[in-house]
Amino acid sequence: MSKQLTKAEEQIMQVLWELKLASVKEVIEELPEPKPAYNTVSTIIRILETKEFVGHKPKGRGYEYYPLIEKSDYSNESLHKLMDGYFGGSFKSMVSFFMKENKMDIQELESILKEVNKNKKS
């Protein structure tokens, strides 16, 4: 899946991940104001199909679109690219950066560590 999404593509994917199956009109309804034009959203969805992020099935005279990639898979890959690109692949360096730059408190860090440890046991 090594393809990255643009901001607009990711916004459309967020809607499709939420709705699971939607027409262009239904996607537009979920987007914030100002709403983009129908043709704009339709074009972005076709690009997402080319990138193999989205599939479609016929519905009436149009199509319904659905994600081909799980949100968790995309999130995981994006996080690893961020970690590799900016933090030399070091999770410790990334967490340290976010602690310093975002003024993370010790309770938030402990919560993260509990999640990490819980996931290691699974």
Q: Kindly report, residue by residue over 42-82, the tens digit of the pLDDT.
A: 999 999 999 999 999 999 999 999 999 999 999 888 888 88
Residue 101, pLDDT score: 81
Picking from 18, 26, 58, 21, the residue whose alpha carbon sits closest to that of residue 42 is: 26
pTM score, two decimals? 0.75
Residue 106, pLDDT score: 79
Confidence of residue 4 (pLDDT cuts 50, 70, 90): confident
Least confident of 34-43, 53-62, 81-90: 81-90
Return the bridge partners of 62, or none. Answer: 59
CA dist., res. 58 & res. 66, Å (int): 12
* Mean per-residue pLDDT, 5-28: 96
The percentage of the chain sitting over the pLDDT mark of 70, rounded to a whole number, equals 96
**What secondary structure does DSSP assign to the chain, as a single string?**
--PPPPHHHHHHHHHHHHHSSB-HHHHHHHSPSSPPPHHHHHHHHHHHHHTTSEEEEEETTEEEEEESS-HHHHHHHHHHHHHHHHHTT-HHHHHHHHHHHTT--HHHHHHHHHHHHHHHH-
Query: Which range, 75-84, 93-102, 109-118, is most confident?
Result: 75-84
Here the contacts of 5-10 (C-beta below 8 Å, separation 24 or greater) are 5/48, 5/51, 5/53, 5/74, 8/44, 9/44, 9/47, 9/48, 9/51, 9/53
